[in-house]
Amino acid sequence: MNNIPASEVLIIGAGPAGLMLANILGMYGRSVTVLEARDELIDYPRGVGLDDESLRTIQTVGLVDTVLPHTAPQHIMRLVNGAGKTILINNPQTQEFGWDRKHAFIQPEVDKSLYEGLAQYSNINVHFGHQVEDVIEDESGVTALALVTGADGTQTERRFSAQYLVGCEGGKSPTRKRMGVGFEGDSPSTRWLVVDVDNDPLGTPNVFLGADPKRPYVSIGLPHAVRRWEFMLHDGEDESVVTSKEWVAEMLKDHVPDPHNLSYIRRRVFTHHGRVAGSFRKGRQVIAGDAAHLMPVWMGQGWNSGMRDATNLGWKLTSILTGTAGEDILDTYTSERKDHAKAMVDLSMTFGSVIKLTNPLAVAARDAASAVLNLFPSAKSYFSDMRFKPMPRYTTGVLADPTTKASGTAAARLTSRLIPVLTANNKVSPVGVQFPQPRVNSTLGENLLLDDAIGNWWTVLVWGNDPVDVLPTASIKALEALGAKLVALVPETQREWAEENMSDGVLVLGDHTGRMKKWFDERPTPMIFLRPDRFVAGACLHQNGPATLQAILDSMGRAAEQHRAKSQGSTLSV
């Protein structure tokens, strides 16, 4: 038996969630071992949709330039009925987070980019062909026992130890099973045939969801001249038959001029699942990606939900390992991610039920309802701009309530009776939601995306003021202990003045597009405490800054307080 030197985090599974988590932890300087049972990455297409939130995370780990060549932005989706008439169009135009809302992508190439990105970190090791058979957990850490099969068939057992283990092994996750948590939801009996081909015989871009009662289908144009079709299978249609070239050609005769002359990548039957784990953490073991939640393909959110998991989990593990948060912060991973994952599962299941209707009366009612809705601009925009997609909003976790300053919780609305709040145009709290990513100017460069300017850790954003001038010394010291960056956002017209007059160490950003001025003008929260995952932990008027900061630090656990006290040589009170 071989014992391998211990790492801080052990990740089981080199799928997208595991690879992204390893990149995030590597970026923060943590030591990570990734164990993958397969001998190589999966090389066939699976997910086809990449959203703006995921691309923002890819931007954070510095892999945008290697990923973008495998994507196609502004991937328009059209839902059509059996007669080919468009029922609704989904074509969001916003770039709220710095990128187009929807992209088509080739998953094997993007996953490969995530894997190759790990080469820049000497503290990350990936081992293929390692099948984890058992995990032993105690108070100090975890040990995984992995079997390695040699070319001659002999098996060797290797031991890998770490402080924490994250299971990213997919829907059948052994880690989830070891944790003993439920996997609640449904696995509808409806089967689908997926067909991927090279040298796209159509060439039309974007997505068509065919809500045809005779046989619902999907047709998707993908990057690199790949075309995907999916067809709903009826009861009694045998898998060995429906995956044959002859049967597939029959399915494609109404889609392709010559269905017998295609270059197949794969023909495979699958079943949709809609399930969410009861908890994403137990002790020192955590799950992410499909191990934590499975969802149907309709909204293209399976891959993206795994990215959200990694984005949420990476900075929290880092905070524990650096002593700036207590271990209980891992419980906020479940409280913050589970509800949104379930909302995406529910939406995907509902959308699928609309597409696969076969009852003639139900189909007629659906088509009639969509025709009426399309007459109203607000309803049409609801679908076109993708406002039906639930955006993550955390109400419990690493947060401070914007009104009460309560720690670990945040109401969705601002309820203070102060005049700045009463007169505000927007009383929806920004706490618990992702902060926008506009372009800014600074001494670092012109027209930069916000995240590229502020870095990848905690940030305090203050509109129009020097953060050092509006926060007391104790708060500034606490932020220094946390490693937070102090940032002043000003109109571009004031940037030169601010750079000359604001405190040393304060990064001045010029709002040359006016997007930040508009955002702050509508909200009575000119001070923003921004988490490493770009979610707002606290938002307040300047005089409430110290209390808001303290509530955020309290929500990170007892170890954070001990770390601050050690850093300052005394107990901190802000």
Residue 347 maps to a domain = no
**107 has a pLDDT exceeding 70:** yes
299 plus 242 within the same structural domain: no
pLDDT band at 452 (very low <50, low <70, confident <90, very high): very high
Average pLDDT, the chain: 89
540 plus 457 within the same structural domain: yes
Among residues 335, 364, 380, the one where a domain terminates is 335
Q: Pick from 411, 440, 402, 352: which is nearest to 527 by CA?
A: 402
Per-residue model confidence (pLDDT) at position 367? 58
139 plus 284 within the same structural domain: yes
Mean pLDDT of 192-199: 94
113 plus 209 within the same structural domain: no
Per-residue model confidence (pLDDT) at position 376? 46
**Roughly what angle, to the nearest 10 degrees, separates helices 52-60 and 302-321?**
40
247 plus 296 within the same structural domain: no
At residue 280, what is the residue type? F
List, for residues 264-276, the tens digit of each pLDDT value.
999 999 887 788 9
209 plus 317 within the same structural domain: no
**572 has a pLDDT exceeding 80:** no
Mean pLDDT of 252-268: 94
The lowest-confidence range among 83-87, 428-432, 492-496, 529-533 is 83-87
Phi, psi of 49 (to 5 degrees): -120, 130
The whole-angstrom separation of Cα 287 and Cα 167 is 5
Among residues 285, 310, 335, the one where a domain terminates is 335
532 plus 544 within the same structural domain: yes
Residue 424 maps to a domain = yes
pLDDT band at 372 (very low <50, low <70, confident <90, very high): very low
The whole-angstrom separation of Cα 494 and Cα 46 is 49
Mean pLDDT of 420-438: 94
Residue ranges making up the domain that contains 251: 191-271
**Roughly what angle, to the nearest 10 degrees, separates helices 16-27 and 107-117?**
30
Alpha helices in 377-491 (DSSP H): 377-384, 419-422, 450-454, 467-470, 473-482
**2 has a pLDDT exceeding 80:** no
267 plus 282 within the same structural domain: no
Instruction: Compute CA 76 distance to the chain's CA centroid, rounded to the nearest angstrom.
Output: 20
**172 has a pLDDT exceeding 90:** yes
Residue 84 maps to a domain = no
Residue 343 maps to a domain = no
Choice between 534 and 356, residue whose per-residue pLDDT is larger = 534
Residue 218 maps to a domain = yes
312 plus 169 within the same structural domain: yes
At residue 395, what is the residue type? T
98 φ/ψ sector (left φ>0, alpha ψ -120 to 50, else beta): left
Domain CATH number, residue 237: 3.30.9.10
463 plus 532 within the same structural domain: yes
Mean pLDDT of 199-213: 89
**260 has a pLDDT exceeding 80:** yes
Q: Structure pTM?
A: 0.90
How many domains are contained in the chain? Answer: 3
224 plus 326 within the same structural domain: no
